[in-house]
C-alpha cells in the first residue's frame, strides 16, 4: 500500500500553498481569507522511486475561532486517520496561537510520526523565532517558505527518510 502523508494545521498557516509547492502545481485552493478552503485534496506524489499519497487536510467547511471545536476535530481527523506521517504546519510570523496548541494536542494523541514545519520563513532572520515552537512538543521546526518554495527539498527528503 502507498504511504500517506497528511498536511495538518490550523487555517491560514499555508497548508494549501505547501501542498501546491510540493506538487509543483496548483491543485489546492489558496485563499487569502482564513479557513475558506472547502475541499480536502489528495494527490499521488513521486519522490525519487517511491510513491506517496499527499493530503491537504485543510478544508472541511469554514472554520473560525468561534466554531472551532467540532470543525477542527473533523478537519483534522478525516485526513489523519490513515496518515503514516503528519506534517504539522505553523506560521513563524504569528507564533503559537491557541488553535496551534489545540491542533498540537490532537496530533500528539494520534501517536503517529510527525514533523513540525514553520512556514512563512520568507526571510532567514525569522529563523530566530524557531525555538519558541519547541513547547508544542514536536521538536525543532523545519523552517520553510511555501510561497517562495524555500525548504521544499528538505521536506521531500524528510518524507523519504521518515516513511
Ligand atoms: P491554509 O488555510 O493553511 O491552507 O493556508 P493557505 O495556503 O490558503 O495560505 C493562507 C495565506 O498565507 C495565503 O494568503 C497565502 O498566500 C499565505 N502564505 C502561504 N505560504 C506563505 C509563505 O511562505 N509566506 C507568506 N508570507 N505567506 C504565505
Ligand atoms: Mg487550505
pLDDT in tens, 80-103: 888 999 999 999 999 999 989 988
pLDDT in tens, 111-129: 999 999 999 999 999 999 9
Strand 113-119 relative to strand 142-143, pairing: parallel
Q: Which domains does the chain show, CATH number per domain?
A: 4-162 (3.40.50.300)
Beta-ladder partners of 46: 51
Q: Which residues surround ligand 2, an ion (CB under 5 A)?
A: 15-16, 37, 58
Q: Which of 107, 117, 111, 163 is nearest to 139 (CA)?
A: 117
CA–centroid distance, 4 to ligand 2, in Å, is: 18
- The H or E element containing residue 115 is strand 113-119
What pLDDT was estimated at residue 137? 97
158 to each of 47, 67, 111, 114, 121, how far by Cα in Å? 10, 34, 18, 11, 18
CA neighbor of 40 nearest in space, from 98, 96, 85, 81: 81
Centroid of ligand 1 to alpha carbon of 13 (angstroms): 6
Per-residue pLDDT in tens (0 to 9) along the chain, 163 residues = 899 999 999 889 999 999 999 988 666 656 555 554 445 578 889 888 899 999 988 743 344 555 555 665 665 677 788 899 999 999 999 999 998 998 899 899 989 999 999 999 999 999 999 999 999 999 999 999 999 999 999 999 999 999 9
pLDDT at 71: 60
What is the Å distance from ligand 2's center to 127 Cα?
A: 23
Q: State the pLDDT at residue 106.
A: 87
Query: pTM value?
Result: 0.88
The complex's ipTM works out to 0.99
With a Cβ cut-off of 6 Å, ligand 1 is lined by 9, 11-17, 30-32, 37, 58, 119-120, 122, 145-147
Instruction: Determine how many CB atoms are found less than 10 A away from the CB of residue 88.
Output: 26
121 alpha carbon, closest ligand = 1
Amino acid at each position: 500500500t502507498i504511504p500517506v502523508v497528511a498536511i495538518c494545521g490550523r487555517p491560514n498557516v499555508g497548508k494549501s500553498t505547501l501542498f501546491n509547492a510540493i506538487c509543483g502545481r496548483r491543485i489546492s485552493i489558496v485563499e487569502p481569507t482564513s479557513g475558506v478552503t472547502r475541499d480536502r485534496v489528495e494527490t499521488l506524489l513521486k519522490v525519487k522511486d517511491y510513491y506517496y499519497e499527499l493530503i491537504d487536510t485543510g478544508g472541511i467547511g469554514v472554520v473560525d475561532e468561534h466554531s472551532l471545536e467540532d470543525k477542527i476535530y473533523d478537519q483534522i481527523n478525516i485526513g489523519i486517520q490513515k496518515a503514516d506521517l503528519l506534517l504539522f504546519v505553523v506560521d513563524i510570523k504569528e507564533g503559537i496561537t491557541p488553535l496551534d496548541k489545540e491542533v498540537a494536542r490532537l496530533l500528539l494523541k494520534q501517536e503517529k510520526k510527525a514533523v513540525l514545519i514553520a512556514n512563512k520563513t520568507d526571510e532567514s532572520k525569522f529563523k530566530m523565532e524557531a525555538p519558541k515552537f519547541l513547547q508544542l512538543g514536536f521538536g525543532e521546526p523545519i523552517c520553510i517558505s511555501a510561497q517562495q518554495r524555500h525548504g521544499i527539498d528538505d521536506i521531500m527528503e524528510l518524507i523519504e527518510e521518515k516513511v
